[in-house]
Amino acid sequence: MAAALILASASPRRRELLTQAGIAFEVLPSDVPEVPRPGEVAEAFAQRAAREKALQIAAQRPGTYVLGADTVVAVDDLIFGKPVDPDDARRMLRALSGRTHRVLTAVALVEPNGELQEIVVYSEVEFQALSPEAIEAYLLTGEPFDKAGAYAVQGIGGQFVAQVRGSLSNVIGLPMEDVTALLRRRVPTVLSGARA
């Protein structure tokens, strides 16, 4: 039997979080480019990207539930997505060093009737001061290169995090408290394997 929910993302973190929550789903990644438009603020960009990902896959698989998401790191008015190269990752980590930044994840759920449900969840992450040597050693691990903001709180990058205020799973890539509540309301069948 086909899963009741499609995840429009190739993110292994999102797959792990949904699996740990006992949610039945299948994966069909979107190829929507994750590029902010000129002047687009972090929340608007994340919402648009999540919506476009979900709608793209919903168009390919009509009559299904499709979940799209986009996580961005915001420092002041700057949006930090996934670094394009080591210099970009180095720039991001220097900017995060010794200060607090916001992580926001936008989630979009397209229902079989085409109705769209959207949420945005914010967390604050306080970073320790990073020495140039610590940054270079972290870059050598390879971990920063497919992560928004160039770090993984659940991985080696967690050593740099002094405090997380708000949802930790949001920082990882999917705010599970909010996503589970949304799915419980809109797609209860995908939670049949989990205790409601």
* Residues involved in catalysis: 70
Nearest partner of 139 among 102, 85, 82, 103, judged by Cα: 85
Query: Do 173 and 18 form a contact (C-beta atoms < 8 A)?
Result: no
The burial class, CB within 10 Å (0-12 / 13-18 / 19+), for 42 is buried
Rounded Cα gap, residues 133 and 172, in angstroms: 25
Beta strands in 50-115 (DSSP E): 65-75, 78-80, 100-110
> Which tokens sit at 45?
């960009």
List CB contacts of 137: < 8 A, sequence separation 6 or more. none
Spatial distance between the Cα atoms of 51 and 60, rounded to a whole number of angstroms? 14
